[in-house]
Amino acid sequence: QNITLRKTFPQHIEQIIEDKSLTEKAIPFSKQLLPKLKDNQVLQLCKFAKQAAKISSLPQTLEWGFDGDNFTFFQTQNLIEVEVDQNINKEKLLSLPIIIEGTGDNPGMGKGILISGSDHSQSFSGDIVILEEFNPELATALKHAEGIINADFTNQREVKFFCQQEGIPLINVSVENIKYLKIGQFVTIDGSTGYIYKGSFGNQNQDLTYERELTIQPGEAVFTQIQNIQTKAKVYTNLESVNQNKIFDSEISDGICLIKGESLIFNLGSHPLSLISTGESDKIIDQLKKQLLALKRIESNKPIFYQFSDLISSQLYNLNHASDFETIERIPFLGFRGSWRHVNDPRLFKCELKAITTTFEHSQINLVLPFFRIGEEINFLIDQIHKVKSTAAQHIWLSISSPANCINIPQYLEHKIAGVILNMQRLTKLSLGVDPSNVKTVDLYDEFDPSIIWLTKRLISYLKDKHLKIILNNFYTPLDQHRLSMLLKIGVDGFALAPQYVLEAKKIIANIEKNSKD
């Protein structure tokens, strides 16, 4: 027997025993994809699985352990569940058209935009996720999904158990039928009957004109019922990775906001200061430019917002040689990060600045200063930008993330900036003291809490006095017509959204602006 297909998921954390206690330790980047078993050990494990299936006459799931020499089996269970009575009444509850019929595996109704579970950059909040392969490391993000459509029958039991624990509607669909589902399409799923409907059960009599379809071929997006929609308020595409540029559509989006520097830095494989310390700054610049070239296809009249790297120690520990430059922080989110890191050592900031200003036309690029706490950080970084004598210095934006940023905004406006980008998720986390990724506290999280609206209004009032712009990004809460209307009314100039939400928001905003004129 031979191994015919090999897939390895990266492992970022390992559990080890130190001083007779179990602790977690970051795995170096170079070792994250190393297999835990050798090929002959995998084949030996498969033989045991076949023997277990032969004894029980059904395929089995095996729970096992390996000590380096021997396998130990803890329990075995049937992989195939007892067949459900197929004569059960599967009532079609909605008048919406059915796209396909799968097998309901966890009851409940869910509605949202279809998104691929292989897109690890997404939070899946409010989405219907198509799982073609279940990766346990996706569990935290999947907790926020409105529903799951599973095509991974190898891990069917694990997916079902997960959905039962989290109360998420689940439908199993064959790989052959997945082709009838289009990423970006708005659907409603019924986890009891297995029906996947086109549209929303809250809008059965409405034409969902924001519905869209993406072709399977990367980089070629086809949107239904779409013209070049013009709105006063801008809607930008927030790309978590430059590789997502292929789904940017210039007929819909007003530009790219943001490209985060840290998403490029992490692809270096080694800690940036280790390269700089060994005289390899040019390697960093070349690697950054190589990644940024993927965005050169974007028309020059579409602005690109680049946010300088906001590096956090816990993330940097995944890179080679990180232990030479990083210390373990108890609360990395509030630690040595963002602009303060660049103030203490500006060498990486200079590398990023050179890469970005030599790749794009200066009229297209907007430079965004990352997470900061005090005005001195802004002073220092703006001075560094002006030393380069680039016309890109005319397009400097501030990333606003904390209540203190909103309150102290007057002192920041002493500099010549173009505007601010308000990170809604960070502002809400820091204001309310709530982590939305924690299922036990997520109900307390509200980006439209009166305190958040008050801070936003205060920020906007000072910006408008200086004729400066404000863009909101990094929403955790889906934006509907009511929320968009309220934000436009208080003076928001633009929104930076994940690619799958741009068209929907654009159409809603166009409708709001049209009605306000009427």
Q: Which of 6-15, 27-36, 321-330, 482-491 has the highest mean pLDDT?
A: 482-491
Nearest to 403 by CA among 453, 463, 444, 367: 453
Q: CB neighbours of 115 closer than 8 A, spacing ≥ 6? A: 122, 124, 127, 128, 129, 130, 183, 184, 500
Average confidence (pLDDT) over 119-145? 77
Sign of the C-alpha dihedral, residues 307, 311, 314, 319?
A: positive
pLDDT of residue 447: 92
Question: Residue 82 pLDDT > 90, yes or no?
Answer: no
Taking residues 268-277, what's their average pLDDT? 93
pLDDT of 453 strictly over 50: yes
pLDDT tier at 432, thresholds 50, 70, 90: very high
Phi, psi for residue 164 in degrees, rounded to 5:
-65, -40
The answer for residues whose C-beta is within 8 angstroms of residue 284's C-beta and 6 or more apart is: 268, 272, 275, 276, 348, 351, 355
Phi and psi torsions of 357, nearest 5°: -80, -15
pLDDT (average), residues 488-504: 90
Name the more confident of 133 and 89: 133
CA 147 to CA 379: how far, in whole Å? 46
- DSSP labels, 228-253: ----SSEEEE--SSGGGGGG--TTT-
Band (213; pLDDT cuts 50, 70, 90)? very low
320 forms beta bridges with 270
pLDDT, one tens digit per residue, over 183-205 is: 878 888 988 889 999 886 544 43
* 351/161 Cα distance (integer angstroms): 47
What is residue 422's predicted lDDT score, i.e. its pLDDT? Answer: 97
pLDDT for 215 beyond 80:
no
pLDDT for 360 equals: 80
In whole angstroms, what is the distance from residue 101 CA to residue 113 CA? 18
Q: What single string gives the DSSP state of each residue in 171-222?
A: EE--HHHHTTS-TT-EEEEETTT-EEEES-TT-TTS--TT--EE-SSTT-EE
Percentage of the chain modeled with pLDDT above 90: 37
The β-bridge relationship of strands 147-150 and 221-222 is unpaired
- At residue 59, does pLDDT exceed 80? no
Residue 76's identity, in one-letter code, is T
What average pLDDT does range 128-146 have in this prediction?
81
The pLDDT mean for the chain works out to: 82
Using pLDDT thresholds of 50, 70 and 90, give the confidence band for residue 149: very high
Q: Residue 506 contacts by C-beta under 8 Å, 6 or more apart in sequence? A: 210, 229, 231, 235, 252
The answer to whether the beta carbons of residues 123 and 476 sit under 8 Å apart is: yes
Per-residue CA distances from 273 to 260, 337, 392 (Å) = 18, 14, 25
Residue 78 has pLDDT above 80, yes or no: no
Residue ranges of domains in the chain, CATH in brackets: 13-78 (3.30.470.20), 98-198 (3.50.30.10), 229-517 (3.20.20.60)
Given a cut of 50, whether residue 221 has pLDDT beyond it is no
Amino acid letter, residue 366: N
**Confidence band, pLDDT 50/70/90 cuts, at residue 377:** very high
Alpha helices (runs of H) in 6-123, residue ranges in sequence order: 39-56
Between 425 and 436, where is the model more confident? Answer: 425
- Structure confidence by residue, pLDDT tens digits, 280-326: 999 999 999 988 888 877 887 899 999 999 999 888 887 889 889 98
Farthest CA pair distance, the chain: 78
When pLDDT is cut at 50, 70 and 90, the band that residue 10 belongs to is: low
Mean pLDDT of 412-418: 90
The reported pLDDT for the residue numbered 439 is: 64
pLDDT for 214 beyond 50: no
Average pLDDT value for residue range 26-47: 80
pLDDT-based confidence at 74, cuts 50/70/90? confident
Which pLDDT band, with edges at 50, 70 and 90, does 463 fall under?
very high
Residue 19 pLDDT: 75
In this prediction, residues 200-211 reach a mean pLDDT of: 40
Q: Is the pLDDT of residue 33 over 80?
A: no
**Continuous H helices in 15-93:** 39-56
Answer yes or no: is pLDDT of 11 > 50: yes
- As to burial, measured by CB atoms within 10 angstroms (0-12 exposed, 13-18 middle, 19+ buried), residue 340 is middle
Least confident of 6-20, 217-231, 397-411: 217-231
Return the pLDDT at 224. Answer: 35
Q: Does pLDDT of 209 surpass 80? A: no
Per the listing, tokens 């206690």 go with 21
Please give the pLDDT value at position 57.
Answer: 60
Query: Residue 29: its pLDDT value, please?
Result: 61
